[in-house]
Amino acid sequence: MILAAAVMASACIAVGGERIRAADLVAAVPAFAALPPEASLGYAPAPGARRMLNPRELERLAGQHGIPLGGAPSLCVERAVERLTEERVLAALHRALGSSEARVELLDFSRAPAPHGEIEFARSGLVAPLGDPRTPVVWRGRLRYADNRSLPVWARVRVTVTCKQLVAAESLPAERPIQASQVRVETAERSPFTEAGMGSFEQIGDRVPRRPIRAGEPLSAKMLTAPLAVARGETVKVEVSSGGAQLSLPARAETAGRAGDTILLRNPESGRRFPARVEGRGKVRVDAKEIAPVGAAVPAGTRGGSR
């Protein structure tokens, strides 16, 4: 008798959804065939757990629907689970990438049994490799099941994409225009989640390096910036607006700047400093009311000099 009960308890009925339906129990309790197949008889247990339905509980459920049982067995109910397959995980990874050019090498993935559902991977679940793009990384995702439930899943992967990459053929100094002879194009692999490098010399345009670039170093847009329009110590033409009137005067740049920057200028006659907005190469603009002292006048004999 004890052995029979143990066998009964271990032979659980697998339930596919959030609720136990009449159709799930009808094979063990034929009287439930009188109910619609989708009639709910209670909540299913969480994945990995079991729910025991003793005879008294089954009689109570039947009585709620006006069905006489006349005796019932003890039943074990569990959530139907399955193991993830390589095909399903790969399909979810490709959906997340959204690119036909990226190559995915699946090295390992979640092996624990899980309920049937939709595997999802998001960009936020992956940390791009540092250095070698072929370094394996763990991509964490979720298995969505039922209405709003999910379980964590993971995949250990290599994800790369082949691209053309502009590389410094020699050391490139900061703030100096780059010549075509100073760079070369190479075929390389990169992570699709890192910033794409520059693939041609034309992408550089008139920009210059923000910092020195070593020979052999790949170029990217964030390494470059617009060239300086005004250099420190340069004498520039200041366009001054005063109401409807326009006039111009020369001034010495105390700070360097690019188009759109606000820099500090020194009036060579008064020795006083004032801010102005860089308009273009060697040209700045300011409103007359903004030409106010920023510091004390320089001592006699040093007017127009650098501080």
Q: What is the largest CA-CA distance in the chain?
A: 116
Q: Does the global pTM surpass 0.75?
A: no
CA distances 170 to 199, 222, 275, 298, Å, are: 17, 19, 38, 45
Domains and CATH numbers, the chain: 2-79 (no CATH), 86-161 (no CATH), 164-224 (3.90.1210.10), 235-290 (2.30.30.760)
**Which positions ≥6 away from 98 have C-beta within 8 Å?**
none
Given a cut of 70, whether residue 90 has pLDDT beyond it is yes
Single-letter amino acid code for the residue at 178? I
Higher pLDDT, 266 or 7: 266
| Residue 291: per-residue pLDDT | 59
The pLDDT value recorded for residue 247 is 82
26: which 2 tokens? 């009808």
Q: How confident is the model at residue 102 (pLDDT cuts 50, 70, 90)?
A: confident
Q: What average pLDDT score do residues 264-273 get?
A: 89
83-97, 109-123, 238-252: range with lowest mean pLDDT: 238-252
pLDDT at 22 over 50: yes
DSSP code per residue over 129-187? PSS-TTS-EEEEEEEEETTTEEEEEEEEEEEEEEEEEEEESS-B-TTSPPPGGGEEEEE
In angstroms, the CA 247 to CA 27 distance is 97
Of 302 and 248, the one with more pLDDT: 248
User: Strand ranges (DSSP E) for the chain?
Assistant: 13-15, 19-21, 40-43, 50-53, 75-79, 103-109, 118-126, 137-145, 149-168, 183-190, 208-209, 224-225, 235-242, 245-253, 262-266, 273-280, 283-287
> How much of the chain is helix, strand and coil, in % rounded to 5?
15, 40, 45
β-strand pairing of 19-21 with 40-43: antiparallel
- Reported as a pLDDT band with limits 50, 70 and 90, residue 46 is confident
Please give the mean pLDDT across all residues of the chain.
Answer: 85
Q: What's the rounded Cα separation, in Å, for the pair 272 and 28?
A: 97
Average pLDDT on 220-232 reads 91
What token pair was written down for 294?
């920023």
